Amino acid sequence: MSGSRLLPQLGPDNRFFWTGGADGQLRLLQCEACDTFIHPPRPICPTCLSEAVAPRVVAGTGVIDSYTINRQKWHPAMEVPFVFARIAIDGAPGVILSTNIVGSPVDAVEIGDRVRVVFEQQDDVFLPLFEKVG
Amino acid sequence: MATEAFVTGIGQSQIGVRLERHPLLLTIDAIREALDESGLTLSDIDGLSTYPGKTAAPPGYSPVGTEDVMDALRLPIRWYSGGGEISSQLGAIVAAVAAVKADLARHVICFRTVYEAAALSRPQDYPQPRGNGRIDGFPQWVMPFNALSASNWIAQYAMKHVKKYGLTREQLAQIALTDRKHALLNPRALVREPLSMDQYLEARMISDPLCLYDCDRFTDASTVLIVSAGDALGDVKCRPVRIAASAHAAERYSWDQPDVMASYATGRELWKNTDYQPKDVDTVQFYDGFSFLALTWFESLGFCAPGEGGAFIEGGARIALDGELPMNTFGGQLGAGRLHGFGFAHEAIVQLRGLGGDRQIAGDPKVAIATSGGGPLATALLFARDM
């Protein structure tokens, strides 16, 4: 699938997220006043309305919250099947990342499985994908 | 000032795929039918409302906007609205209700025109707009992971139901099977062939647990409802149906952050806005662009508890035309075609007026619900023939 993915337009709000993987670290926006994680990133904390928000490195592990196995080729270059999943990120309460599960057969994925981030670079974007651990 | 809003006329164009007829003319076909039914004339129309307004992408998604209609027909418009940042397709009707209650308009044509099948078949006329190739907004959080279809996003919620509550494919199938059975009785329906359980279970999967028959398909059609102020019914010759309540609510505006879709908060909100109760409802017309969405509306509106939707529709008898809670009596989007939300409101009025012909439910129905949306988008409308 590498090379054929649609990529995000990078800007002041999201550049840290999509390029943070250059050093292998997953980063999420966090409020410096009350520690709330803010995803998708916005320039204000929804809990305390502080504008002191900054990217923080998080563990890069998590749990599969849900998933689907996509089997439809939505364009000719798309390789199927693949797993599209929601990950509840460790240490960042309330944050879900939608992503792909890679490195295991599609039918080996289950809700509750533990996963860790692996980055896939395409152009200037480092996509946070996840693989099963253990 | 009007205190109540009513649906007066309803209309619908032909429903097809790869239609040659101009999408504005399909819209006007539906407007003509609605005017004929209501007894109103073009000079009575002073409001227009649509969803999501005219868009260039995706091709054919919304090829007709308010400006096309108001200028083509030289309508004496005092109020109009068309946009996508609204609580989903039927939010356009909620806006019209607010407008007539505020006396900003007396008679509002609400329309939704879809033309995706035609547009995709004629890319020279309906080209895919070319941007810089990058995406922003919500799609950036799913599309880089090749989740290009809303089926992928909805499937995440459906899989939770499968794993948490034991939803089976045989249970979920009842949405598509019921739709297709009802579509056989609707002369305008797009798909007029029966669908068997075996066919459903053998269908190719699109995005587990959703198979081909759980997903609607591109359709060309226009649907119209006229919303009128309660003190402007003197010229109306058809039997008006009151829009007794509407609702939208969401715990969070997001496709992938919340645990459940916005239909649940919306369902709770609807019952705060009316004295009617679930037991009073004679028929439900539930958005089913993906079958699972209709299942969640039964739970969301309290017809059964969260997680019990699969058991509630199991076997299909309860939601059949002669069941205790007939669903999608026109065939829904899986049978009648992807009318994109408006078909459900249209059919609620058909049933409450007794105009269903072969698909008319028995017992002189007086209360109906229509819904639209998915993910963070959700609108519920309660219609009553009670004044």
A1 pLDDT more than 50? no
Mean pLDDT of chain B: 97
In 3-state terms chain A splits into helix, strand, coil percentages (rounded to 5) of: 10, 45, 50
- Of the partner residues A71, A84, A96, the one whose CB lies closest to the CB of residue B257: A96
Digit-coded pLDDT (tens) for B6-56: 999 999 999 999 999 999 999 999 999 999 999 999 999 999 999 999 998
Return the H-helix or E-strand segment holding A120: strand A114-122
Contacts of B263 (CB under 8 A, 6+ apart): B293, B296, B297, B300, B371, B373, B374, B378, B380
Q: How confident is the model at residue B334 (pLDDT cuts 50, 70, 90)?
A: very high
Q: Round the CA-based radius of gyration of chain B to a whole number and report it.
A: 20
Digit-coded pLDDT (tens) for B42-66: 999 999 999 999 998 899 999 999 9
Q: What is the pLDDT of residue B132?
A: 78
Strands (E), B286-386: 367-374, 377-384
Q: What is the pLDDT of residue B1?
A: 58
Q: What is the pLDDT of residue B130?
A: 77
A96 pLDDT more than 50? yes
Buried b (16+ CB within 10 A) or exposed e, B165-179: bebebebbbbbbbbb
Which positions 259-298 of B are in contact with A (Cβ < 8 Å)? none
Contacts of A92 (CB under 8 A, 6+ apart): A28, A30, A37, A39, A58
Measured from the Cβ of residue B163, the count of other Cβ atoms closer than 10 Å reads 15
| pLDDT mean over B143-156 | 97
Contacts of B207 (CB under 8 A, 6+ apart): A68, A69, A70, A71, A72, A84, B149, B151, B152, B155
Q: Is B207 close to A75, i.e. CB distance below 8 A? A: no
Mean pLDDT of chain A: 96
- Give CA A62 to chain center in angstroms: 10
Q: What is the pLDDT of residue A106?
A: 98
In order, the DSSP letters of B52-75 are S---SSSTTSS---HHHHHHHTT-
| List of domains in chain B | 5-126+218-229 (3.40.47.10), 149-217+244-384 (3.40.47.10)
Return the SS3 of B32.
helix
Contacts of B338 (CB under 8 A, 6+ apart): B114, B116, B216, B217, B218, B219, B289
Q: Name the percent of chain B lying above pLDDT 70.
A: 100
In 3-state terms chain B splits into helix, strand, coil percentages (rounded to 5) of: 35, 20, 45
B202 pLDDT more than 60? yes
Q: Environment class of residue B106 by beta-carbon count within 10 Å: exposed (0-12), middle (13-18) or buried (19+)?
A: buried
Cα distances from B310 to residues B65, B194, B293, in angstroms, run 39, 22, 12
How high is the ipTM of this complex?
Answer: 0.97
Which tokens belong to B228?
């009128």
Contact B383, B244 (CB under 8 A): yes
Q: What is the amino acid identity at position B357?
A: G
Nearest to B68 by CA among B85, B78, B84, B80: B80
What is residue B87's DSSP assignment?
S
Q: Is B144 close to A8, i.e. CB distance below 8 A? A: yes
What is the β-pairing status of strands B210-211 and B205-207? antiparallel
Return the SS3 of B108.
strand
- Of the partner residues B145, B205, B209, the one whose CB lies closest to the CB of residue A84: B145
Residues of A in contact with B156 (CB under 8 A): 66-68, 84-86, 98
| pLDDT mean over A84-105 | 98
Backbone phi and psi for residue B343, each to the nearest 5 degrees, phi listed first: -60, -30
Contact B5, B246 (CB under 8 A): no
| pLDDT mean over B97-126 | 97
| pLDDT mean over B292-299 | 98
Q: What is the pLDDT of residue A2?
A: 47
Is the pTM for the entire model greater than 0.90?
A: yes
Separation of alpha carbons B265 and A118, rounded Å? 36
Query: What is the nearest CA distance from B334 to chain A, expressed in angstroms?
Result: 18
- Of the partner residues B144, B157, B256, the one whose CB lies closest to the CB of residue A5: B144
- Of the partner residues B144, B160, B205, the one whose CB lies closest to the CB of residue A6: B144
Query: What is the nearest CA distance from B296 to chain A, expressed in angstroms?
Result: 17
Separation of alpha carbons B301 and B345, rounded Å? 16
B222 pLDDT more than 70? yes
Q: Name the percent of chain B lying above pLDDT 90.
A: 97
